[in-house]
Chains A and B, each alone.
Chain A
Amino acid sequence: MPPVMAILLKDLRQRSRDSTLLLFGVLLPLGLAFLFSLMLGGGDGSRFNARYAVADLDRGPDATAFVGQVLEPLERRGTVSLQRVSSVQDGARLLERKEADAVFVIPAGFSSATTPEVIGGAHAPIAVQVAREMAQAFAMERQSIRLAVLAASRGLPVDEERDSRLARRAQEVAAPLTLVSDTSATRRQLDTATYHAAGMAIFFQFFVAMFVMAAVFEERRSRVLARVLAAPVPRAAVLGGKALCGILIGLMSMAVVVAASTWLMGARWGPPLGVVALVIAGVLAVTGIAAAVAGFSNTSEQAANRISVVAMVLGVFGGALFPIPQLGVLEVASHLTPHRWFLTGLADLAAGLSPGALLTPVLVLLAIAAATGGLALTRVGGMTRT
């Protein structure tokens, strides 16, 4: 067995033991698809009904946004029933009496950096899981808005008024229930459900790659890497095995997103062969970028932090988190991100363009993968330094 395969198999085994495989390969993509199916309607998701309570102990603008933009629209649609309680204790009582499935607690001092807390009732695991995903998605979205505003105003003189205007605009755009009806060629033919699912899926690939790459540093710290390097194995095989592991888990999670969103939300992804080509190219590109970022890091924490920031920034610029054109200047920058090409490719597919039209996005994605993967390889020496 070639060393790179041995390393891949070993890593897959480890990732299945530490549940990374289950979490990133199955649960998270499933949760995402489920969440979008709830928020965007359609498919079987609309039959879902959960009873939530919300204790808003903060009452600030962010807290109001969560209740007003996430929970209330769902209530209006009849997907969830919502009770307002004034304290955590009141919420807990409802759970005890099984009068609610989960309680959202928005702590005092709630801001864009925090996630609403979810207290779940043991009797309704699915409703609790959905509540958690919603809270998580909300926090993630807020975070990305903050980053986008930061990125957009970088290099400009400080102007609080402009920044808050930008933030307001971004928040309006980001309201999860705003159905996007923009006229850009990018998404004209891509329905909202598919767009969101695809954007989130490619966004999450970074975290898959991050977890897998961080293992290199863990192995270095525990010195087991030294032992691997003492074996007759080229150093590049260590990185290669990790990258392959990330690619496999990534493909798995993509497959789950595609399947679940089709089933739950009636997402229309287009001709399977084209989707497969785009998904593979997209996963390769993201894995390459993550590997390159890891290559310039020294510890797993550092690599994780940097990959997260890169994921956020690229996700925002690439339109994976909220639509691009509405942030104007950022639209141009989106062409530097794999997300943009991935989504463009999907839009072309959905529009029924000939397979030839896929060539450009797929080639660009593969070029990103080759360039960043090559860059990562030049850093193997440093990464595996013992």
Chain B
Amino acid sequence: MPVLEITDLTKRYGDLLAVDHMSFAVEEGETYGLLGPNGAGKTTTISMVVGVLDRDGGEVLIDGLRHDVTSVKTKALIGYVPQELALYPDLTARENLRFFGHLYGLTARPARMRITEVLELVELHERADEAVTKYSGGMMRRLNIAIGLLNRPRLLVLDEPTAGVDPHSRNAILESVQRLAAEGVATLYTTHYMEEAERLCDRVGIVDAGHMLAEGTRRELVGLLDEHDRVILRVADGAARAVPTLRDLPGVLKAGGEDGDLELIVNEARSLLPAIIGALGEAGVEVRSVEVREPDLESVFLHITGKALRD
């Protein structure tokens, strides 16, 4: 049974259909990414999943139990990291954690231990007793995440947790999500960073304008494209001379180019690369640089919606 299963989830704001019959499921230990541009409906979907927003239609099941804004039992199973910094700035990090710990029913001793654990996890233990107003943006982000981990959730829901975080902290955040997934936590992760989705997520749902446009593993999604790998070579001279030779190589679908540039459309760029370089060498063409472009989720998004993920 999936930890999270949503069916035909729908939300309207006036005339705007912010989420339109969205359905997907997240299994234990699985990280599921919602990838979509600004305004796609990611946060709206997540708000219904965590039970802070009333839905207009559809159903949310947590561990098979019906879940909505008034469900207390299922809410205890969810850890939520909102997109905004949902903190009390005039309290310290530890006081923030203690308060939310109380809300999740943690009793004094286990709460203290768990608070120390999550503070260490997000590397804030040395400044835990400072008021949050004195934190940098990235530190607030990390505390924002720490609160979501307090209750050892079955389902962890993170809404763009890395926005505005430096690469080091970002890496730490991604690693902790991966670690939790390895421990069996089901994770729902939204982002508009394609690299994050590719690195973290077992499966990705591509959303736009409230619709789920496609979902699957990275490989499955890329398979939706007619697109193939591309190899772009910069050569000293004799590009034109090399083209027919390259065209004859098995696995090369197209080859073209002029002056110093050659562009090849191929099936499997990485395995074909030695043969390509070899052929050019035989033809007496000196290679200056090689670039391989494999289709990614960004291209999938472009392919499906006709627009870029970020503008």
Contact = CB atoms under 8 A, between A and B. Distances in A.
Task: Pick the 3 closest A-B CB pairs, nearest first.
Answer: A6-B102, A231-B103, A227-B86
B131 to A, nearest CB: 8
24 contacts: A1-B102, A3-B102, A3-B103, A9-B99, A14-B88, A14-B90, A17-B91, A17-B131, A222-B84, A222-B86, A223-B86, A224-B87, A226-B47, A226-B52, A226-B86, A229-B69, A230-B51, A230-B75, A230-B78, A231-B103, A232-B73, A232-B76, A233-B75, A235-B70
Given A231-B75, A233-B103, 8 more contacts: A13-B95, A14-B91, A223-B82, A223-B84, A226-B82, A232-B105, A235-B69, A235-B70
B50 interface: yes
A159 interface: no
Specify the main secondary structure of chain B where it touches its partner: loop
Contacts of A10: 88, 91, 95, 99
B51 to A, nearest CB: 6
A313 B98 CA distance: 41
Interface in B250-301: none
A220 to B, nearest CB: 11
Contacts of A152: none
B56 to A, nearest CB: 14
Nearest to A2: B102
Contacts, number: 70
Interface in A202-231: 222-224, 226-231
Interface string B102-140: 111100000000000000000000000001000000000
Given A232-B72, A232-B75, A386-B53, A227 B91 contact: no
Contacts of B22: none
B100 interface: yes
Nearest to A1: B102
Given A227-B82, A230-B52, A232-B76, A18 B104 contact: no
A374 interface: no
Chain A interface residue number, banded: 20 to 34
A18 B90 CA distance: 8
A6 B69 CA distance: 20
A234 interface: yes
A232 B150 CA distance: 13
Specify the main secondary structure of chain A where it touches its partner: helix
Nearest to A228: B103
A10 to B, nearest CB: 5
B47 A386 contact: yes
B160 to A, nearest CB: 13
Nearest to B148: A227
Contacts of A5: 102
A52 B212 CA distance: 73
A230 B50 contact: yes
A156 to B, nearest CB: 42
B84 A233 contact: no
Contact of B80 (A1, A18, A230, A234): A230
Contacts of A3: 102-103
Contacts of B51: 229-230
Contacts of B105: 232
Contacts of A223: 82, 84-86
